[in-house]
Amino acid sequence: MRKILITGGSGFIGKHLVPKLKEVGFEVFPVDSSWGDVSNPSTWVKFPKVDVVIHLAGKSFVPASWSDPSTFIKCNLLGTIEALNYCKANNASLIFMSSYLYGNPLHLPINEEDTVNALNPYALSKQLAEEACRFYCKSFSLDISIIRPFNVYGIGQPKDFLIPSLISQIKNSNIITVKDLEPKRDYVYIDDLITAIISSVNTINGYKIFNIGSGESYSVAELIQTLQKIAGTNLSIESLNERRKDEIMNTVADISKAKSELNWQPKITLYQGLSTLIEYYS
């Protein structure tokens, strides 16, 4: 039985991933911040020897990265380097949870070979971590798969993120208030991301990067329209017309590489995913 260490095992993705890996027959060791800071080498000596590390631990809320970029870079870059050092010492493979890194794309859909362009400190921390992964693969022959999820959503996502915030307003307010109705994103449901990660565990070899998304994009306005249709509401919508610094106006993932090499494709439509959330939070 292959053994898997999951950092960030109690986080949004980790809580969904751990039971699914056990279900398909892996021996899983989830760890979280109670074990220590992943950017500290002394934390990693506490972990058992495994075959694969799935490195989820890190800071991920983009707005907070602007006010505290050094903490994001320390956690996301140095934490990944310590994960790489662990893999090197234990002859383990690594699956690294990266992020959308393409900035404002020159074309849609976006494939893995397109230029990366970090537009916020969070994205910078992930880009630097990817470079560390590439270096360790080349220099120490580690097998590493990089997952670049687009906009993940699902049960248990922190309430500061867009979709949980919209659902909360629909349930508890008389009006829906957002900063900007126009930006479009490629949303992928958490269950589809989990199946992609598990496929990566089973196929990891060399250094590879995979976009994980739906291949479609929806604006904030379209999200609200769909959520209200599901919830049976017709609340007024107020846009503050506040656009974030270097706002990305549209993203669509080219997922052909994941389809061909991971034998993966998303199964849950946006309507199905949002319906599941509305039912769960009701």
Task: Quote the pLDDT of residue 136.
Answer: 98
Residue 53 CB: number of other CB atoms within 10 A? 24
Q: For 15-46, how does the pLDDT look when each residue is reduced to its tens digit (9 = 90+)? A: 999 999 999 999 999 999 999 999 999 999 99
- How high is the pLDDT of residue 282? 84
Looking at residue 125, what is its pLDDT? 97
Average pLDDT of span 187-192: 98
| Best CA proximity match to 152, nearest among 115, 120, 113, 195 | 195
Question: What's the whole-model pTM score?
Answer: 0.96
**pLDDT above 80 (res 150):** yes
Give residue 246's pLDDT: 83
Q: What's the pLDDT tens digit per position in 216-225?
A: 999 999 999 9
Going by pLDDT thresholds of 50, 70 and 90, the confidence category of residue 57 is very high
**60-to-102, 151, 253 alpha-carbon distances in Å:** 16, 12, 19
- At how many degrees (to 10) do helices 190-203 and 12-23 cross? 50
In angstroms, the CA 240 to CA 242 distance is 5
- Distance between CA 228 and CA 237 in Å, rounded? 11
Among 201, 74, 180, 199, smallest CA distance to 125 is for: 74
Does position 108 have pLDDT exceeding 90, yes or no?
yes
Task: Give the model's pLDDT for residue 162.
Answer: 95
Q: Which of 217, 192, 3, 168 is nearest to 92 (CA)?
A: 3
Residue whose pair of structure tokens reads 């990660």 in the numeric block:
197
The pLDDT, as a whole number, for residue 238 is 97
Please state the three-class secondary structure of the chain as a single string: CCEEEEECCCCHHHHHHHHHHHHCCCEEEEECHHHCCCCCHHHHCCCCCCCEEEECCCCCCHHHHHHCHHHHHHHHHHHHHHHHHHHHHHCCEEEEECCCCCCCCCCCCECCCCCCCCCCHHHHHHHHHHHHHHHHHHHHCCCEEEEEECEEECCCCCCCCHHHHHHHHHHHCCEEEECCCCCEECEEEHHHHHHHHHHHHHHCCCEEEEEECCCCCEEHHHHHHHHHHHHCCCCEEEECCCCCCCCCCCCCECCHHHHHHCCCCCCCCHHHHHHHHHHHHC
Query: Where along the chain do its domains lie?
Result: 3-153+190-214+247-267
Mean pLDDT, the chain, rounded, equals: 96
The topology under which CATH files domain 3-153+190-214+247-267 is Rossmann fold (3.40.50)
Model pLDDT, residue 61: 86
Express as a percent the part of the chain with pLDDT over 90: 95
Average pLDDT, stretch 140-146?
Answer: 98
What pLDDT score does 1 carry? 75
Rounded distance, CA 249 to CA 39, Å?
A: 33
pLDDT, tens digit (0-9, with 9 covering 90-100), for 223-261: 999 999 999 999 999 999 988 888 899 999 999 999 999
C-alpha–C-alpha distance, residues 33 and 22, integer Å: 21
118/31 Cα distance (integer angstroms): 29
Average pLDDT over every residue of 175-195: 97
